[in-house]
């Protein structure tokens, strides 16, 4: 058996085209152009690349994109003042503060300060709480992308056992909740790198989502034949190439479907940021969400 590839690039293109159509319709019918502000502190190369990608994707969708680059020695007070200004700016529907921040800055109060109606990165505790009670406002972008990939691949989550490997607030924790909401109805095991006999736990899964940040953590012997494997890992190998948490070559010979790295979950993360910004523009003006 050789697993079929779940193509995140192709799905991202399709979803972004639909978002661009929705943005054009929103502008034509309500004179509303969704706006996204991305705040970058310092000169971290990876963060610069990510913010640049988000900027291009936002403009291509017909949205207003505002990049705000601050020096690495920006104070906590000045960063929080900027976020407060963006909260008050009616042209901005979504606020993204790129992580990681320089060591002297505390990201938690910054995330807590973001207006929940503009929290398109879904990191405000209010947003997380709404998800926890089953009434979400915005879905965290990477888990949201994982759900879209599973749906596109025709993977039925209702009644399925999904093992999510990784317990971060960015991916593992919110995804585990999203999968149990009505309409998705999965049975979820939230595992992590310290789970006892992780291989045995994974072999019980219909779907494995790997989101730890450890190269080659999920190997072929950990995957039940025919299972779906979603690789959220983003790591740099010794040769500098981008690789995931899954031993792709080995697992592909066992799994039924698998996402590659790159070209799997990554393109969908930026795409769902656009979707959240579009929904925020509607929500803030009392317009129905799609």
CATH code: domain of residue 245: 3.40.50.720
* Residue corresponding to tokens 């109606």: 117
Asked if residue 181 and residue 86 are part of one domain, the reply reads: no
In a domain, 77, yes or no: yes
Q: What is the dihedral of CA 182, 188, 192, 195, to 10 degrees?
A: 150
Exposed/middle/buried for 77, CB within 10 Å: 0-12, 13-18, 19+? exposed
Asked if residue 235 and residue 158 are part of one domain, the reply reads: yes
In a domain, 12, yes or no: no
Asked if residue 234 and residue 180 are part of one domain, the reply reads: yes
Give exposure, 224-249, as e/b (b: 16+ Cβ within 10 Å): eeebbbbbbbbbeeeeeeebbbbbbe
Task: Give the domain CATH number at 90.
Answer: 3.40.50.10860
Number of domains in the chain: 2
Among the candidates 48, 83, 116, a domain finishes at 116
In a domain, 4, yes or no: no
| pLDDT at residue 54 in the model | 93
Asked if residue 243 and residue 197 are part of one domain, the reply reads: yes
Please state the rounded mean pLDDT for residues 112-136.
Answer: 96
In a domain, 1, yes or no: no
In a domain, 85, yes or no: yes
Asked if residue 148 and residue 64 are part of one domain, the reply reads: no
| pLDDT at residue 238 in the model | 83
Asked if residue 101 and residue 66 are part of one domain, the reply reads: yes
In a domain, 253, yes or no: yes
| pLDDT at residue 90 in the model | 97
**If you average pLDDT over every residue of the chain, what do you get?**
96
| pLDDT at residue 46 in the model | 79
In a domain, 176, yes or no: yes
Structure tokens at 173: 């924790």
Asked if residue 154 and residue 98 are part of one domain, the reply reads: no
Position 288 confidence tier, pLDDT thresholds 50, 70, 90: confident
| pLDDT at residue 47 in the model | 85
Asked if residue 158 and residue 225 are part of one domain, the reply reads: yes
CB 147 within 8 A of CB 265: no
* Residue corresponding to tokens 């219909």: 206
Catalytic residues: 54, 98, 121
State yes or no: pLDDT of 290 exceeds 70. Answer: no
- CB neighbours of 255 closer than 8 A, spacing ≥ 6? 1, 3, 223, 225, 226, 227, 228, 229
* DSSP secondary structure string for all residues of the chain: --PEE--HHHHHHHHHHHHHHHHHHHHHHH----EEEEEEES--HHHHHHHHHHHHHHHHTT-EEEEEEE-TT--HHHHHHHHHHHHH-TT--EEEE-SSPPTTS-HHHHHHHS-GGG-TT--SHHHHHHHHTT--SS--HHHHHHHHHHHHTT---TT-EEEEE---TTTHHHHHHHHHSTTT--EEEEE-TT-TTHHHHHTT-SEEEE-S--TT-B-GGGS-TT-EEEE---EE-TTS-EE-SB-HHHHHTT-SEE--SSSSHHHHHHHHHHHHHHHHHHHHTTPPP-
231: containing domain? 141-266
Please state the rounded mean pLDDT for residues 142-159.
Answer: 97
pLDDT, tens digit, 9 for 90 and up, residues 30-42? 999 999 999 999 9
Asked if residue 262 and residue 152 are part of one domain, the reply reads: yes
**Which among 85, 265, 261 is positioned nearest to 170, based on CA atoms?**
265
Among the candidates 83, 116, 149, a domain finishes at 116
In a domain, 275, yes or no: no
């Amino acid at each position: 058996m050789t697993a079929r590839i779940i193509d995140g690039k192709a799905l991202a293109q399709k979803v972004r085209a639909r978002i661009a159509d929705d943005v054009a319709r929103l502008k034509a019918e309500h004179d509303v152009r969704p706006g996204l502000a991305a705040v970058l502190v310092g000169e971290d190369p990876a963060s610069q690349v990510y913010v640049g990608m988000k900027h291009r994707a936002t403009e291509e969708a017909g949205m207003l994109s505002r990049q705000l680059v601050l020096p690495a020695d920006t104070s906590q007070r000045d960063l929080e003042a900027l976020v407060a200004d963006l909260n008050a700016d009616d042209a901005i529907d979504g606020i993204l503060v790129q992580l990681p921040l320089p060591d002297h800055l505390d990201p938690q109060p910054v995330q807590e300060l973001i207006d929940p109606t503009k929290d398109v990165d879904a990191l405000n505790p209010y947003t997380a709480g709404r998800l926890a009670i089953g009434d979400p406002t915005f879905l965290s972008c990477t888990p949201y992308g994982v759900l879209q990939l599973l749906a596109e691949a025709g993977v039925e989550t209702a009644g399925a056992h999904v093992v999510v490997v990784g317990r971060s607030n960015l991916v593992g924790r919110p995804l585990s909740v999203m999968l149990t909401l009505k309409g998705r109805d999965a049975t979820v095991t939230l595992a992590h790198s310290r789970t006892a006999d992780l291989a045995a736990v994974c072999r019980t899964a219909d779907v494995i989502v790997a989101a730890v940040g450890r190269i080659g953590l999920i190997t072929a012997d950990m995957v039940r034949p025919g299972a779906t494997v979603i690789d959220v890992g983003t790591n740099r190998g010794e040769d500098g190439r981008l690789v995931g948490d899954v031993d792709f070559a080995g697992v592909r010979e066992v799994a039924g479907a698998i996402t590659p790295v790159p070209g799997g979950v990554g393109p969908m993360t930026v795409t769902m940021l656009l979707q959240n910004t579009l929904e925020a523009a509607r929500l803030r003006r009392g317009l129905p969400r799609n």
